[in-house]
Structure 1
Amino acid sequence: MSVLTLILLKIAPIFLVLLLGYMSFALRWVDTSFIGSANRLVFYVAMPALVFLNIAGADFSGGLPCREILAFTAAMILTTAAGYAAGGVLRLANPQKAAFVQGALRGNFAIIGLAVVDQVLGPEWVPSGALLIAFFLPLHNFASVVVLSLLGSDVEVHVHPLKKTIAVLVKSLRNPLISAIILGVIVSIADIPLPGVLTDTLTYLQRLALPLALVGIGGSVGEYRSGGHYPVAAASSFLKLFLLPLFAVIIGIVLGLSGESLVILAVFSGAPTAVASYAMADAMGADRDTAGSVILVTTASCFLSLTVILTVLKVAGFT
């Protein structure tokens, strides 16, 4: 069996669970109320439990993952420049360009990225992925806010740019995942013992996180308006699914990354556009239909693109 087929078979279950969520919504087995409730449970409880447990148990004595952070940051900067250039070539108006560029930057690595790491590398590598989320999540939130502040049509952004940007960043810091990351780091560094009953409870919740989150994403995708912007979305998706991970992997290799660390960097960089980008685009005056289209296209295409990327890394001998 070829390497390509083996990797595709490992990633396929994630896609099938996503498809189950989408079909359940399309067939009206579940409704908007259920999807909203499931997403809230994942966002406020299950995913924070997963991230907190994995970071609280992480060992920071070996230092921070500086090479991964540097590679991801540099790749985002290069992709942002490419997105601005591509938006100019396509003659996109600023609100549409804002959604176009944000879609190329903001990845769903907290859910789909971790799920792929779990399937491809095994659960023992999930803590390493969760540790990177602690740094990657604030980075891409900040990048998204900057892009949307510069290009969005929200009047308040242009009248009071600093005030609006700070308000959005402060709101981002109230993200339950950010809170879970901060608490996890404190517990790990201070070596605070956790009561057994708390650890067992959080362990049950973290087992719920990825499957329920995937079903919720699949169902949520059916709600997004596309406005027929699929050609533009396809261009943004190419930047997100291929160019960003290409930059990240090349820079990572130059910095000496290899093996599982390089795989995690590639998976996180090549994750589909985050579902939250739709709400942020709408709130900051970007074209929400384009944002919705990018989410649809990247989510539908990411499993093939990730399979190709991981296969190339494997065949080339980097993993």
Structure 2
Amino acid sequence: MGVWRIGADVLARGRFTLSPLAETIGALEALHWGTPRPGRETWLRDHRPAYRARLDADPVEALLVWAALRPRWMADFIGAPPEESDRSFRDELERVRRTPPEVAEADLAAGLGHPVPAELRRPDLPERAAALLEWVWTATVRPEWPRLRRVLEADIVARTQALSSGGWAAALAGLRPGMRWLGDGRLQVNAYDNPPRDIADDARLTFIPVSAAHGWVCWDLPHRYGIVYPCAGLLADAPESAPPQALSRLLGPVRATVLCRLTTPMSTTQLVALTGYGLGSVGGHLKVLLDARLVQRRRSGRSVLYYRTSLGDRLAAPETAVRGDPAEAARDHA
């Protein structure tokens, strides 16, 4: 199995963080292999024809993707973990562009197990990779990035809360298949039969949620290591829908939104991340919903989780679902 041996200082500095580039790579893999996360089939159907057309029109780019994305392997130069100074997708992409061509070629050869084809021995190889990633970002990720970002940030909030209450074993539980905290500074990152890897004491370790179906490990040796994992929760194809109009009129649009987002138990900070509303606003609305018996709360470790009552579930149901239930309508008119 693949085990990283990590010192206490490295683990103490470990952070959960976002990476627009990692999200873009996850989208590229889904487009290339045709394997989206369940619930993202419409997204794939909308974007894959344009992706296939782009590769059909550029044999070099098609060959580059074939070499860079191998089963159970990804070229290091396209997927390095973010740096602390990164503030945007452009910051991360610029590092791909700055990769020396000989380094990019060596990365591809490592994955292939043999020298790269002659068509890929070219000085603009990193630039070609960056151009494809920029297209995937612009065409398929950026239009819904604000929504995806809120979902990913909510996952980070939940993991951070688990870390504070239960340590790394709790924070990493269920992070990705084959991964678990073994104790004594040993982190099993996957189930592959790889030799243990010692992480330098001054290295930086990051955990990166994405909306992709699968995760991966990445690094920029010897000082940056990353573990990319599928975020928790459902990611529907459709944009976030507004709460039912009748519910918004009854409760107010913000309070109705908070109630509708409680599809699973969540903390106040998770709701802040998902809705974009301020902490005081969300907390105040939760108190009103609690007093109205539309939500209840329970403690989980150091966190307080809110969840809908049966009445809250009925009020938050889509209007079409309520109107489309003949039995319910009959009872209402009895």
TM-score by length of 1: 0.27
Say which one has the larger Rg: 2
TM-score by length of 2: 0.26
Higher relative contact order (CA 8 A, sep 6+): 1
